[in-house]
Amino acid sequence: MLQLFINSSYRFVYCARYYSTNHQLQWSSSRVRQTFIDYFTRHSQIPHINIPSSSVIPPKDAGTYFVNSGMNQFKSIFLSHQDKVSKQCVVNYQKCIRVGGKHNDLSDVGHDTYHHTFFEMLGNWSFNNSYFKREACTMAYDLLTRIYGIEKNRLFFTYFNGENNLIQPDYETKQIWMDLGIDSNRILPFGMKENFWEMSEVGPCGPCTEIHYDHTSQGDPLQVNRDNPRVVELWNLVFMQYERRQDKSLIPLHNCHVDTGMGLERLVAVLNSFESNYDTDLFTPLFDTIHSYCHPSCSIPVYSQANKNQQYAYRLLADHVRMFTIAIGDGLIPEKKGIGGLLKKMIERATRIAYEYLHIDEENVAIISKLIPITTQILSQAYPDLNEKLNRTMEIIKYCEVNYMKKYKLAKPLLEKFIQDKILKSDYFISGDDIYRLYAGKINHVNVPLEMIEDYTRLFPVVKFDWSNFEELMREETRKSKIFSVYNKTIKTNENVSQHPTDKILDLIKQCSSLKQTIDEPYKYQADKSLNAKVQLIIQNNNSKNQLTVFQSIDKNCKYYVLLDQTNFYSTGGGQTFDHGKIQFSNNLIFQVENVFRLHEHILHYGYFLGNENIDDKNVVCCVDMKRRLNLSRNHTTTHLVNRILRELLNDSNLIQKASLIHEDYFIFEYSSINTNANDNIFEELEKRVNETIDLNLPISISSHKYNSIRSDLNIYRLSNELYPSDVRCVNIGESYSRELCCGTHVSSTNEIEDFLIVRVDSKGQSNKRLYCLTGSFAKNVRYLFENDFQKQFHYLKQNHDQISVDELYSQCRKLREIYLDEKSLLFPFNQRSEYLNHWHKLMPDKKILRKYLLNQLNEDSKKNFIHSNVDLPIYDIGYMLLRYDDENNTRKHQPYVIYINFQQRLMIVYLKNPRQRSQLIEKMRNQSEMTMIENFENYDQQTQDLFTTTKKLIVFKPIDKNRFDRMNFQQMCDELF
């Protein structure tokens, strides 16, 4: 399949289908875009600075699915997290995608002529009171009427009319429009939904004023904000005055800002007197290309002459392919979950719509990938980097299309036959169970995609689909999968990062107006030297009372946040976790630092005091734990080596580093690649090549650059979805072996890394992989354990498995699996795992064999209704087997209860179906046997927690004393109860 993607005849097939984007319009999209930028950058009184668009893929804490407006990249400025902003007034055109989340236009796309998944937002901004409402409204009106030449009697203006006395009406904006000569009949009040703008559930927000354009020229104010396609919102001017907190409260911002946004697509349509955005030069070349791929025998007309369903398909394809081009160009990959999952579903949906509505022929079944070149040609005028990503985008989309069509050709006839059979029987109801069976492949082993079933609800309106029951079934299946999944304990979990009450900390910091920003450069890169600093603020965190207070005295039961004027501690950033160490006061009082994090311009040191002396001097000495710092630096440098070598091994220069997480004892490297044929041999070779590079003892140096001066340097690697500051650091390994922008800490030469070992590889979809790796002493320790512990135990069991009892063999095999061979273990060389796992499966007793063995341990009394065994098995396995006791083919299926007693673990587990009998048993055990029921399983593994907290049929009692337990009395009690 990969050969098909990289075949040159396919790669350049678009050359034969070239369609000019130069449709003769009075206002071309490129002219409209440039006119907007020129107006603000050349403004005589308020000149703006033009800045490039950010990626449509938001930072992880942004609170949105995609970047959905132009203001996302300025969020920190609106929240006063950047007090010093050199660009006080800026203008740009921003790539935006509204799919999922608070602002979601997906359901409207294709059905109307003015909503889009991807669009370009023309915007101008004022930061920190540079200008506000009057100037913003004046410039907007001047640009629309004088420069673009829009008739003012075609425009309506809206303003915020307040909310339940909580937020006052914005009469100031209303008066500004009247001062500009707007008739009061064209200035309309609206509420929170229409005229109070919020980026997401939390963050900056404020009242807004909207400018609407009336295509009808009838001047009817009742058509504004009524979803009339002929009266559309054109420009939104947002006045950022508030911040929405997690508790839904609003607090005033420190400074006021202006954020305006106008959709390029709508503006181009208006300026050319089009009522549909799809009649502009941003879409018409796409329609021409789509039509050329329609099968001649089907007589599909051009867009303007097509019927309703065909026009819907034209619009959806043209819209979606623009979104795919931008999203994949910015580094997004179709995958199972998250926004990558949304992308995958949308590609599949577009593929099916093209095939069903436009009858794309077999030769051109992967039509979407063939639309990428013309889309790139249109958009690259504004985003030239799309040209270099063209082939990769085409390959990714074609892979999705081809795979989906294989499933589609099986699923479509099955679904249609299923529905038709129902209708023939006069049965017009599709139950939740029916939907689930179709979706889960329970019918003819064919999985029908949910989005296909959803679309058929519209094609067959007489048939009712029970989606609510289906959702209940899905939740139940999810619960069962947690209960009955194989033992999956994480041997080594990620290091937890404390969740800090940042809002409350900021409030306390803002109360201290004299605080300065914390300076950490260049000191954080010189951690081997202690640093003198001064304490600016200490905040006491009383967890028991859930409150923060300014420090008064030391309490050993509390932890503290220490804010210094300067520090050599590295705060979490760039994928690297924080330093540990100590802060020593002049009276030798020690503050133990266990977390360091940045809160805007301040760096907080979180930890506890090792004494209770009074603090009478603000002078301190910062000492970083250099052993931890060295391990962090080893791991960070190694991520650069992995990044460099993987590109060579996968022959993918466009490989995208999606994430990295640098811990002291291991690191995670996640990437996506179009080379989906990577196998375990690749990682074996990667491990070998990295260790060879370590042995080369390459020197590592740091160089500083202006970001704009190196943006075009293809030899310097940088993340595709990262906003870099104006001054950047470049980590250079060797003379030219690897050059990468990075703010983290690094070793001085590769031989300081000492050793490299891959211990785990997770697949995160077809093209995403996540590597877990070790370096230095941690890698050496795992190699030692493998050779001196695991192999010895494994070979002993292999040679003596015939002489070992079933329960002991099971226990020992399970122990090996738990510690070493579990899929989440970080204590086993990944390149050895597959081989030994195959041998392990041959050694491990089957669950059925083990269950049979346990049942053979039944007591020989006449009742034979409880298990009495000393087999030392974990709670989870016993609970699992007792829960499965009445499976099919089990001769004791009729038994109402099963009891397992283990004197070594001093516990009793009861499997009992009848809820009334369960209550009676619990009461008897408490009163007569002085045993208590275990209800808190927090100290057990996750699988045990899931099993016993979600399954009410199982009860665990503890403790049980072998010497005091009266078996006969217990048996008699069971007889009476059951």
Numbered residues of the known binding site: 636, 640, 742, 746
Contact present, 352 and 452 (Cβ < 8 Å): yes
Task: Provide the 8-state DSSP code for 906.
Answer: T
> Can you give the C-alpha Rg of the chain in angstroms?
33
Query: Residues 79, 81, 87, CA angle at the centre, nearest 5°?
Result: 90
Query: Residues 22, 25, 29, CA angle at the centre, nearest 5°?
Result: 70
User: Which runs of consecutive H residues, i.e. helices, occur in 657-711?
Assistant: 680-695, 707-710
Cα 376 from Cα 366, distance rounded (Å): 17
* Binding-site residues from annotation for Zn(2+): 636, 640, 742, 746
Contact present, 372 and 801 (Cβ < 8 Å): no
- Which residues, 6+ apart, have CB-to-CB distance to 31 below 8 Å? none
544 to each of 318, 504, 547, 591, 610, how far by Cα in Å?
A: 57, 16, 8, 21, 20
Cα 258 from Cα 261, distance rounded (Å): 10
Contact present, 190 and 225 (Cβ < 8 Å): yes
- In order, the DSSP letters of 841-899 are HHHSPPHHHHHHHHHTTB--SSS--SEE------HHHHHHHHHTTT-TT-TTTT-SEEE
Contact present, 935 and 890 (Cβ < 8 Å): no
Q: Which of 666, 586, 582 is nearest to 631 (CA)?
A: 666
Cα 756 from Cα 830, distance rounded (Å): 12
Tokens of 936: 């808190």
Say if residue 189 is preceded by a cis peptide, omega within 30 of 0. Answer: no
Say if residue 207 is preceded by a cis peptide, omega within 30 of 0. Answer: no
Tokens of 635: 């791991």
Contact present, 451 and 356 (Cβ < 8 Å): no
Contact present, 509 and 515 (Cβ < 8 Å): yes
**Total count of residues recorded for the chain:** 978
- Which residues, 6+ apart, have CB-to-CB distance to 565 below 8 Å? 516, 518, 519, 533, 534, 536
Cα 326 from Cα 311, distance rounded (Å): 23
Contact present, 153 and 221 (Cβ < 8 Å): no
Cα 508 from Cα 599, distance rounded (Å): 12
Phi, psi of 971 (to 5 degrees): -65, -40
- Which residues, 6+ apart, have CB-to-CB distance to 412 below 8 Å? 452
Tokens of 119: 């669009």
Max Cα–Cα distance, the chain, nearest Å = 102
Cα 33 from Cα 864, distance rounded (Å): 84
